[in-house]
Amino acid sequence: MASGVTPPPPRITVDDLTMAYGSFVIQHDLSFTVAPGEIFVVMGGSGCGKSTLLNHMVGLRAPAKGDVLYDGRSFCHAETEEREHLRRRLGVSYQAGALWSSMTLAENVALPLETFTELSPKQIREIVSLKLALVGLAGFEEFYPSEISGGMLKRAGVARAMALDPDILFFDEPSAGLDPISSRRLDDLILELRASLGATMVVVTHELASIFAIADRAVFLDAETRTMIAMGDPKKLRDESPEASVRAFLTRGGPDAGGAR
Amino acid sequence: MNRVQGTAVERPWALRVERPTPEIASVELTGVWRKEHGLPDPSEVLRQLQGASPVHLLTFDTSHLTGWDSGLVTFASRVFEEARALGIASDRAGLPDGAQRLLRLAEAVPERQTNRSGLPPSWLARIGTRAAADWTAIVVGLAFLGESLFALGALLRGRARFRLVDLLSVIQECGPRALGIVSLISFLIGLILGFVGAVQLEQFGASIFVANLVAIAMTREIGCIMTAIVMAGRTGAAFAAQLGTMNTNQEIDALSTMGISPTEFLVLPRMLALIFMMPLLTIYADLVGILGGAVVGVALLGLGPTEYFEQTRGAVGLASFFIGVGKSVVFGILVALVGCLRGMQSGRSAAAVGLAATSAVVTSIVLIIVVDGVFAVILNVLSL
Q: Is A111 helix (H, G, I), strand (E, B) or coil?
A: helix
Say how far apart CA A187 and CA A93 lie, in whole Å: 13
Crossing angle of helices B70-85 and B97-108, rounded to 10°: 60
- Dihedral sign for Cα B152, B157, B159, B161, please: positive
Pick B259's closest partner by Cβ from A87, A95, A160. Answer: A87
What pLDDT sits at residue B6? 47
Say how far apart CA B234 and CA B174 lie, in whole Å: 8
Q: In chain A, which residues have their Cβ closer than 8 Å to the Cβ of B161?
A: 115
Say how far apart CA B174 and CA B339 lie, in whole Å: 13
Say how far apart CA B91 and CA A238 lie, in whole Å: 42
Q: In chain B, which residues have their Cβ closer than 8 Å to the Cβ of A92?
A: 253-254, 257
Residue A261 in this model has a pLDDT that exceeds 50: no
pTM: predicted TM-score of the whole model, two decimal places: 0.80
Torsion angle, CA of B354/B359/B365/B368, rounded to 10 degrees? -130
Query: What percent of chain B has pLDDT above 70?
Result: 96
CB B224 within 8 Å of CB B379: no
> Could B246 and A96 be called an inter-chain contact, meaning their C-beta atoms sit closer than 8 Å?
no
B41 pLDDT band (50/70/90 cuts)? Answer: confident
Distance from CA of A100 to the nearest CA of B (A): 6
- Digit-coded pLDDT (tens) for A47-91: 888 999 999 999 999 999 999 999 989 998 888 888 888 888 899
Quote helix, strand, coil % in chain B, to nearest 5.
Answer: 70, 10, 20
Nearest-CA neighbor of B15 among B1, B35, B78? Answer: B1
Q: Scanning every residue of chain A, which has its alpha carbon at the shortest distance from the alpha carbon of B253?
A: A60
ipTM of predicted complex: 0.84
Q: In chain B, which residues have their Cβ closer than 8 Å to the Cβ of A160?
A: 254
- Dihedral sign for Cα B122, B123, B128, B129, please: positive
A4 pLDDT band (50/70/90 cuts)? Answer: low
End-to-end Cα separation, chain A, in angstroms: 42
* Strand-by-strand arrangement of the A39-44 sheet: A90-93, A168-172, A200-204, A39-44, A217-222, A227-232
CB A222 within 8 Å of CB A48: yes
Q: Scanning every residue of chain A, which has its alpha carbon at the shortest distance from the alpha carbon of B248?
A: A98
Say how far apart CA B173 and CA B204 lie, in whole Å: 46
Residue B15 in this model has a pLDDT that exceeds 90: no
Of residues B68 and B330, the one with the higher pLDDT is B330
What pLDDT sits at residue B1? 43
Of A211-215, A217-221, B12-16, B216-220, the least confident:
B12-16
Nearest-CA neighbor of A172 among A191, A196, A150, A154? Answer: A154
State whether residue A176 sits within 8 Å of chain B by CB.
no
> Could A98 and B251 be called an inter-chain contact, meaning their C-beta atoms sit closer than 8 Å?
yes
Which architecture does CATH list for B2-108?
Answer: 2-Layer Sandwich (3.30)
How distant, in Å, are the alpha carbons of B320, B335, B365 from that of B230? 21, 10, 9
Pick A115's closest partner by Cβ from B245, B257, B260. Answer: B260
Say how far apart CA B216 and CA A210 lie, in whole Å: 71
Distance from CA of A141 to the nearest CA of B (A): 18
Pick B249's closest partner by Cβ from A55, A101, A160. Answer: A101
- Digit-coded pLDDT (tens) for B211-247: 999 999 999 999 999 999 999 999 999 999 999 999 9
* Strand-by-strand arrangement of the A65-70 sheet: A24-34, A12-21, A65-70, A73-74
Residues in Cβ contact with A164 at an 8 Å cutoff, skipping those fewer than 6 apart? A88, A91, A112, A113, A116, A117
Q: Determine which helix (DSSP H) or strand (DSSP E) holds A109, and give its type and residue range.
A: helix A105-116
Dihedral pair phi/psi, residue B98, rounded to 5° = -60, -40
Domain ranges in chain B are 2-108, 136-381
